[in-house]
Structure 1
Amino acid sequence: MDKSKNFIPNSDETLKGVHTEVSDFLSSDEESMKSRTNVKKSKVIFSQNWPKFLVIGSTDDGALTKLSPFAIQKAIIGLAGEPESVKKIKNGLLAECLTVKHSACLLKSTVFCSVAIKVTAHTSLNSSKGVIRSRDLEGVSEEEICQNLSSHGFTAVRRIKVRRNNDLLPTNTCILTFNIPTLPQYVKAGYLNIPVEPFIPNPLRCFKCQRFGHGQNTCRGKLTCARCGLFDHDRKTCKNYAICLNCKGNHCAYSRECPWWQLEKQVQQVKVQKKLSFIDARRLVETATPTVADKSYTAAASAKVATKSVAVNTDLTWHCDEAKYKKLSDIEKT
C-alpha cells in the first residue's frame, strides 16, 4: 500500500493535533536565526544503530535509470533479500530494509546489475526528532539529560531558548534527536514518564530572495527586501509599506499569516509524520489541497460584483377583453 495515502491534513487544520510551538523558536526566519547563533551546541551522544533507509546511487550518472524495474527488483533480492519498499529518487534508489542483515548486505554492495554503485544511509529518514516539555527539567543541564536518557536511543539534546529583551532565556522544552525512524511514545526521566511529541520545523526561507524551499547559500536570485518585496535593499533600512513578495499580502515575507508560509508548514508536517522526502511531501500536499494561486484567484473572483437577472412580469394586470388579450399574447410569443 502506498504510504503517502490516507493522510492529508486540511488547510485549516494544518497545525491542529500537532504541537509546533517549539518550531516558532527554531524557524528559518531572520530573528530566530540570530538567536541560534548565540546558542551553544547541544551535547551529543553517539550510539550504534543499523540504518533502515539506504540510498543506492551509481558512480556513473544515469546508469541506474537505464535499468528495467524487473532487473532492479531481482538484483536487490539477490543482494539482500526482499526489501520493505524501493522508490526512485533524484540521485538513485531509496530502499527500506526489513532487517539488520538486509541493511548490512546492501551497504557492502559495490556492483548492481553490472553497474558500479555506492550505498549510503539516508541523511534524515534514519533518525527522528521529538519534543519533550517538563517543568521538572528546568534546572537540569543538557549534559545531565544526555547521561540519564542515553538508553532511549537518542543522539543529541538541545534546550530551547527564547529572546526576551535581547536576552536568551532557557525554557522547559527540549528537542531530542533519536537514532530510530519512529519516535517513542515517552521517555523515562527518573521517576517521570514524559510524552514525546513530533518536532515540526518551520519552513526554510531564503534570506536573500525571500522565497521558500532553499537557503541563501545556494540562492541565485536577487537581494530582496523582506518587508516591501523590492530589490537591492535590506529590510533594516526599509520604510516602505509591508508587501509580501510571495502572496502580495499586507505583511512581511516572514509573517506566519502568509498563505505560502502556511502551505510550506503543511509540507513540513506531512514530511515528518509520513516519513517522506521533501519533494514527495510537497507533491502530496499540492495534489490534495488547492494552491495559493488558485485560492487567490477564487478570492478575487468572489470579490467581483455579482450580476443579477431581473425577471420581467408579462402577466396583464389590467382588465381587457378576450380579443385584445389574445392579440397581446401573440405579440409576446413573437
Structure 2
Amino acid sequence: MASSAEYGQPRSPDDYGAGCPRWMDPEGKHGKVIVLSLKAANDGVLPKNHPFTVGKSIQSLIGDCYTATTEAKGSKYIIKVRKQIHATKLIEMKKLFDGTLVEIVLHPNLNYSRCIVNCPEVNEMSQEEILAELASQGVTAVRRITKMVDKVRINTPSMVLTIQGTTWPQYIYFGALRVATRCYYPTPMLCFGCLEYGHTKARCQSLPRCQNCSAQEHKSDECKETSNCLHCKQGHKPIDRNCPIYQRENEIVRMKTDQGLSFAEAKKLYDSRDSAKSYSNVSKRLNVQLDSKDKEIAGLKVELAALQNQLTAVLNELKKRTYCQCQTKEGSQDKKKDRNKRAKEVSPETINGSDFRQPPLKKVTGGDSGNTEENKNQLTAAQTTIMETSGTINSDTNNDYMSITDESETETLVITKKGKKKIQRHTNGHTNQ
C-alpha cells in the first residue's frame, strides 16, 4: 500500500503494519496492530469468571475496538488493538473491576516480525553497522546468513531483519538502494538433546537421545542400530526433514508467521483445518470408491442380462425338443394302439361275424400244398390282408378255431386259437388239406 516512503521521503516506523497510510486514517482506527499481554500480578491467578471480568474491564476503558485470545492454558490474555492511545490506557490499567490485580505489557514476541533481504553491496559491513543505519526504519536486529566454504564460514548477501510491528514493510532502504523484502519462516524448534519439539538444547532438562535410533542408552556417534524416528516411529532419523511430524510443525510455524498468531493459536487452527481436510479426504475417497462400485454394479447388470437372455434361449430350445419328443412318443403310442386294435379285431374272439374280404387263394396242384413255399406266401398274404377279405367267416361255439371260405367256395382258410393256419380245398364235394 502506498505511503510516504514510496514517494521519495523517509518512511516512518509508525506506518509499519497499518491498514492504510496515516494521512488517510488520522484517528488511527486502521493503524498498525499492537499486541499486549495480560496476566495476574504477583504470580496470582485470574478469577474463575475471568472471560467476563476481563471483557467488562477492557470495554469500560476502550470500548469494543479490540480482539482477545488466551494462551498458557488460559492463564494469560493476548489483546490486540490498533490505536496507540488504547494500548496506553490498557498498559496503565492495574486491576480489573472486581479488584483482581493484573499486569498488562507489550507482548514480548508478537510485536515483532522478521523478513529477509538480499543486498550484496553491504557484504563488507558488520551486523552492528547495518543495524545502526536501518534503525530509523524500525529495524531492531540484523542477523547475517552464512555458509561453509572449504570449512570456512563466509557471509552471504542475505540477512534476516527483525522489525518492530506485526508486519514487515514491502521494501527496506539501504541508503540510496531500495531492496525488496520477503517473509522469513523460521525452522521448527527442535531440541538436539532430547529430540522433542518446543524448546532448544540450551533449555533442555531431559536426558539426551541418540540422533539415529532415538535411544537414551548410547551416544549418536556410538550407534549401530537402524534408524528409528522418535515421533512417527518410522525408519528414518528423528531430525529428518521428511518426517511427517516435522512437516506438520513446519506448517504450523508458517501459519503462525503468515497470520501473526501465537504458536498455540496456530496449532489449534492447524488441527481444526487438518480435521476438515481429513473429513474431506475421507469423503472424496468414499465417493471414488462408490463411483467404482457403481461402475462395477453396472457391468454386472449387463453380464446378468446377457446370461438371462442365454438362459431363456436354452429354455426355449429345451421346450421345443421336449415338445417334439412328446409328439413322437404320442405318435408311436398311437401307432402301437392301432396295431393292438387291429390285432384284436382279427383275433378269434372278435373276428366272428365280421366282414372280411380276401382274394381267392391260388390253387396249387401237385405235392404237399401245405408245405410248399408258395402256400406259405399265400398264408402270409392272407394273414396281412385278412381285414379286407369278403368271404364267409365261420367259427365254432368255443372259438377254438376260425374258418374263412372264399366266394367260390373252393378254398377255406382255417385259423386255430393257437394261431395255426391251414387251407382246405373243395373239389367235387371232397375236402383236401
Asked if Structure 1 and Structure 2 have the same fold, meaning a TM-score greater than 0.5 normalized by the shorter chain, the answer is yes
SS at match of 2:267: helix
Deviation readout 1:263-307 (Å, 9 max, x if unpaired) = 11111111111010101101111221269999xx9xxxxxxxxxx
Residue of structure 2 in register with 1:66 after alignment: 49
State the aligned residue count. 269
Query: What is residue 96 of structure 1 aligned with on the other side?
Result: 80
2:50 partner amino acid = L
Is the contact between residue 64 and residue 92 of structure 1 (CA under 8 Å) also seen in structure 2?
Answer: no
Closer/same/farther in 2, CA of residues 213 and 147 from structure 1, 3 Å limit = closer
Cα offset for 1:221?
Answer: 5.0
Tell me how far apart the structure 2 counterparts of residues 287 and 165 of structure 1 sit (CA, whole Å). Answer: 47
User: Equivalences for 1:143-158 in 2 at 5 Å?
Assistant: 143-158=128-143
For 1:184, the equivalent position in structure 2 comes to 169
Structure 1 length-normalised TM = 0.69
**Separation in structure 2 between the aligned mates of residue 246 and residue 94 of structure 1, nearest angstrom:** 31
Is the Cα contact below 8 Å between 1:80 and 1:103 reproduced in 2? Answer: no
Select the residue among 94, 118, 128 that pairs with 1:110: 94
2:117 aligned with 1:135: no
- Answering whether residue 239 of structure 2 is matched by residue 254 of structure 1, we say yes
In 1, the alpha carbon distance for the partners of 2:36 and 2:243 equals: 36
Match of 1:225 among 210, 214, 225: 210
2:101 aligns to what SS in structure 1?
strand
Encode CA deviations 1:168-218: one digit per residue, 9 max, x unaligned: 111111111111221011111122111111211000112233122233455
C-alpha distance after superposition, 1:110-133 (max 9, x if no partner): 111211111121111111111101
What is residue 19 of structure 1 aligned with on the other side? Answer: none
Q: CA-to-partner distance for each residue in 1:293-323, whole Å, 9 max, x for gaps?
A: 99xx9xxxxxxxxxx9996865547974538
Change (3 A) 1:79 1:179: same
| Whole-Å separation in 1 of the counterparts to 2:105 and 2:192 | 31
Which amino acid counterpart does residue 81 of structure 2 have in structure 1?
C
> Tell me, which stretches of 5 or more residues in structure 1 are unaligned?
1-49, 298-307, 326-334
- Equivalent of 2:69, from 75, 80, 87? 87
Q: Deviation at 1:262?
A: 1.1
Q: CA RMSD in A?
A: 3.6
Higher radius of gyration, 1 or 2: 2
Q: Secondary structure at the match of 1:242?
A: coil
Q: Cα–Cα, structure 1 residues 178 and 321, in superposed 2: closer, same or farther, change >3 Å?
A: closer
**Distance 1:259-1:67 versus aligned 2 partners, 3 A rule:** closer
State the identity %.
Answer: 24
* Counterpart pick for 2:197 among 209, 212, 215: 212
**Which of 176, 179, 182 is equivalent to 1:194?**
179
Residue 7 of structure 2 corresponds to: none
Q: 1:305 corresponds to which residue?
A: none
Work out whether residues 39 and 46 of structure 2, in 8 Å CA contact, stay in contact via their aligned partners in 1. no
- Asked which structure has the greater RCO (Cα within 8 Å, sep 6+), the reply is 1
Deviations 1:210-257 (A, max 9, x none): 122233455565432121222322222223332222223332211221
Give the letter for the 1:138 counterpart.
Answer: N
Question: What does 1:1-334 align with in structure 2 at a 5 Å threshold?
Answer: 52-59=34-41, 61-69=44-52, 71-90=53-72, 91-113=75-97, 114-216=99-201, 219=204, 221-289=206-274, 314-315=307-308, 316=310, 320-322=314-316
In structure 2, the CA distance between the partners of 1:124 and 1:227, relative to structure 1 (3 Å rule), is same
Structure 1, 104-113 or 265-274: larger mean CA deviation: 104-113
In terms of fraction of residues, the more helix-rich structure is 2
Q: Is the 8 A contact 1:129 1:198 kept in 2?
A: yes
* SS in structure 2 of the partner of residue 254 of structure 1: coil
Name the SS for the 2:55 alignment partner: helix
What stretches of structure 2 of length at least 5 have no aligned partner?
A: 1-31, 283-295, 320-433
More deviation in 233-242 or 123-132? 233-242
Q: Is the 8 A contact 1:203 1:265 kept in 2?
A: yes
- Judged with a 3 Å threshold, the aligned counterparts in structure 2 of structure 1 residues 74 and 319 are, in CA distance, closer, same or farther, namely closer
The amino acid of 2:159's aligned partner reads C
Q: Tell me if structure 1 keeps the 8 A contact 2:33–2:80.
A: no
